[in-house]
Structure 1
Amino acid sequence: MPSSRAFTQASTPTTASPAPIGVGIVGLSAGGGWAGTAHVPALAALPDTYELRALSASSVESAKAAGEKFGVPLAFGSVEELVERDEVDLVVVTVKVPHHRELVMSALAAGKTVLSEWPLGTGTTEAEEMAAFAQSRKLRGFVGLQARSAPPVRYLRDLVADGYVGRVLSTSVVASGRKWGATFDSRSAYLLDRANGATMLSIPFAHTVDGLASVLGEFTELGATTAVRRTEVHHEETGEPAPTDADDQIAVTGTLESGAVASVHFRGGVARSTNFLWEINGTEGDLLVTGDSGHLQFGQVTIHGARARNAEPAELPVPPRYDANVPALATARDTMAYTVAHAYAQLRTDLTEGTRAVPDFTHAVRHHRLLDHVRQAAVTGERQRLLGSNS
């Protein structure tokens, strides 16, 4: 079981605040990356809730450099050293998808609670294995599907639940993946091979559809068309060509739990016009969500709404109360840390009070299966019926 005093204190009435949760990040590098850009500042915005106590990197030297840059006291060249430390209560896995299974399983074997970046694994089989192992060890595993934690998405969910649009009739998303376009850089070269599990389907599409489901409900039936329209792309600096088999066009239509009709179209790269447009059409009104990319998990979107007949949509600013859990970032909504910090705030409540706001490994397995249904529909041309949400 986790060693954290913070977790055990939750079950004992006390006037003192629970101790901060000790975090160890796997994959924190001094050279940049998602961990340093998003996770470190997100944890820093919650100083009474979390302490970043340890990190591991690909080598002792790189770990030491990251420790010095980010002020992390314990720096290791292997995950095995990190997960054995009593100071670490929560292991956060932020490396590339092909390495998730090995690292998550090591942390679970050491009795640690885990937060893994999404996708949980390279496919459903790996996700099922990790979820089953966590359950067998009676440990909680969480996954970074943080779009549903973003204040704009939570506000949108409340608007719909409170009847702003009336009965939802349909919803449509048109979005750009930013990556998977005509060019690539060295850091993202692994995205070109679908076998690595980091595709436009598994990353921006999956993040956005999970956010959509948190607002409107899961798909119960769907059809899909996918395509690789660019089979060769070029390095953005050298111009060197490289083959790719990752889909750069994904179009899904289907029905949600409420009966509403949904369509989601993702295009690779960056569009010259629309990069993110999400509309929700109802019997009493309409909601319009816009942004600069199809990565809803960043939370960098603006909401407009209209209810009166022939009315022009007007902006609906996110009320300040949605930032209450992370006041330090209330004026930093354009940072990568913003939504991640809100997910961490919810995760603390999940751990100490037994709530289930942050998607766990079981949810991750269901979401991987949804992607399987999309692939199957695209290959066979047959509509897929999902048994009970996205199972």
Structure 2
Amino acid sequence: MKYNNWCLGLLTLAMCTQRASIAVGNICLGFSILMFLLHLYQRYQKGESLKLPPEYQIYFNIYGIFMLFLLPSVFFAGDIVISFKYLIGIFGYRIMPFVMLLYTECDNKYIKRCLLIFVAYIAFDGVVTFVEMLIKNGARAGGLGDGLLRHASIMATVFPVALILWLDDRIVFPGKRYFILFVIGIILGFGGNQSRSGWLGGISILPFVFYKYFSLQSKKMWAILLLLCCLAGIIYTSPKYHHRFQSIANITTDRSNGDRVEAWKSAWKMVLDKPLIGYGINQGHQIYLNQYRSKAETQGLSHFHSSHVEVAVGTGLIGFIGYIFFWCFMFWKHRKFENTYIMMIFCVCLAFNIVGSFDYTIDLFASFTTLWFVLGSLVRLAYSKGEVSIK
């Protein structure tokens, strides 16, 4: 039995269904992990080495260092049981897609097919979201599942992959002619979802894309410029989109923004009161509501609407330094765009972090596992022999 193919097939199915049905997504992920373990055992029985090549191993080394920086807050801040549960749940279990993609022995063509299916599904979800928005007379839509914020984060994470694979003619990838449809589908999803953080995540990668491809793919880049002008026209002429776009920088009358800022001010006070180890992973919320919430914060937010702020409050400066260290590594290691997949990794990390600056994305299971699934696929392809690079 080819456990490797079953592992990646079920993993892809889990990624596609996790937002539509948490139960189905978790069942598929559980079975994919089982297939993965059987695959490793099968390889071990054959006497094969399970050691990763250095270009893969470094990611686990850096992530391990980050996890070590979280331990002081686990053992010495808040409830140790709760902190340990979240340590394993958020930063341990959710990285499994990345682990499976790097340890599973299979042909790159299979990795590409899995990524193609996932991107196509997210694009289809985007079209459904837009149609749902039209049916609901302009109200925000969630598409094939619940959770507006996790939906926006997933689309922002996948958007760089779809866009760059469409632009780069030198990359051999199945279904390349359809990627323009995937790009349009995800853009429609952004329009239907109407998440401002999602918009910012998608926009954030464009300067790097223009820098790399304007001379290489001038016709396609001019087409993107034309599309951006059309989108700008739609935003300007549509009162709903115009108001929502303008509200991005409005922290006075728009309480969604204003309350975030007030919560961040309170979070800063919390960090100053417990600077080193924080209040325990995911344990600062009730303390914030009971002791630090300002009168100007009108909604009584259940979290700080920022992954970065949450990590700082929950794990203190020690944990936050580890967190920043990991992301600095990811950006620094992938800063050179000679390899197309390396560029995709950089842009995926950037988009995810932009969305995570305004929403608690690492606590959203579907969002964080999507990040690791996409990164695992791209890292696998980036360091594989025979993959085309661009100069």
Does TM, normalized by the shorter one, top 0.5?
A: no
TM-score grouping bracket, smaller chain normalisation: under 0.3
Q: Which has the higher strand share?
A: 1
Q: Which has the higher helix share?
A: 2
**Structure with greater contact order relative to length (CA < 8 Å, sep ≥ 6):** 2
TM-score normalized with structure 2 length: 0.26
